[in-house]
Amino acid sequence: MTLNLEGYFNWDDRADHIIRHIRQTNPDIILFQEVVYLPEESQYTQVSLLNRLLKYPYYHGSVTRLQPSPHYENYREGLAVLSRLPITTTEALVLKREADDPHNRIVQFIDVIDDKKIVGLANVHLSVRNDHAVHHLEEIFSIMQDRDETRILAGDFNVDNIDRHAASLWRDKYVLSTAKHQYVSFPEGHKTIDYFLVPKEYELDLLGLSHDGLSDHRALTAEIEYKHALTRFARA
């Protein structure tokens, strides 16, 4: 599952909806974006508070971005993962920031163990500007290529109609979730900006979207399985 948490906005109204949906959907791994640490609101991130009730055994957070905010002196934001599968490694990498982009961005690389195999994931939350977001995605693919890694990418890509960039970015090596089903993940703008981008060693089945009310995004859930028993992922 992937879900942009929309910070702490209206948190008291949304938290129960998020917990209820996660319990009903029962995912093994959840990738979160807009995870914030705001001491004015809580000494814990939203994911820490959610996991008090969800009780996933593995939690890794990368709240590494210091953002300007009209409401808080220091707005600290980032990414996090909850998992039932053992996590062996997480790494947060700062992506290149262009001169006219007001925000810096990170990618969270996560390695989990599934049936004695290492599965690589990348939790993404890219720039709010479409062109900058595409450049961030190019950088992520370049990093993985240089490391000889293959990863399942998921999160808030902030790119509508991202399949237009398939030929230049992932060619025939990955399957995009919108190739399986058409959906709207950001209802306010009637846009699809949240995706799973899955290597073709896997079979991707999009299970569905949450109802509205969890955040300004809808939670997106997929079932991802090995196509072949001997499939292995390269690691650095």
Is residue 124 within 8 A of residue 154, CB to CB? The reply is yes
DSSP 8-state class, residue 48:
H
- Work out the widest C-alpha separation in the chain, in whole angstroms: 52
Domain boundaries, the chain: 2-226
Q: Report the length, in residues, of the chain.
A: 236
Cβ burial of 164 (10 Å; 0-12, 13-18, 19+) is exposed
Residue 171: predicted pLDDT: 85
Is residue 6 within 8 A of residue 217, CB to CB? The reply is yes
Fold of 2-226: Deoxyribonuclease I; Chain A (3.60.10)
- For residue 130, the SS3 value is helix
pTM recorded for the entire structure: 0.93
Distance CA 191, CA 170 (A): 22
**Tens-digit pLDDT string for the chain (236 aa):** 999 999 999 999 999 999 999 999 999 999 999 999 988 889 999 999 999 999 999 999 999 887 766 676 777 899 999 999 999 999 999 999 998 887 889 999 999 999 899 999 999 999 999 999 999 999 999 999 999 999 999 999 999 999 999 999 998 899 999 999 999 999 999 999 999 999 999 999 988 999 999 999 999 999 999 986 434 433 33
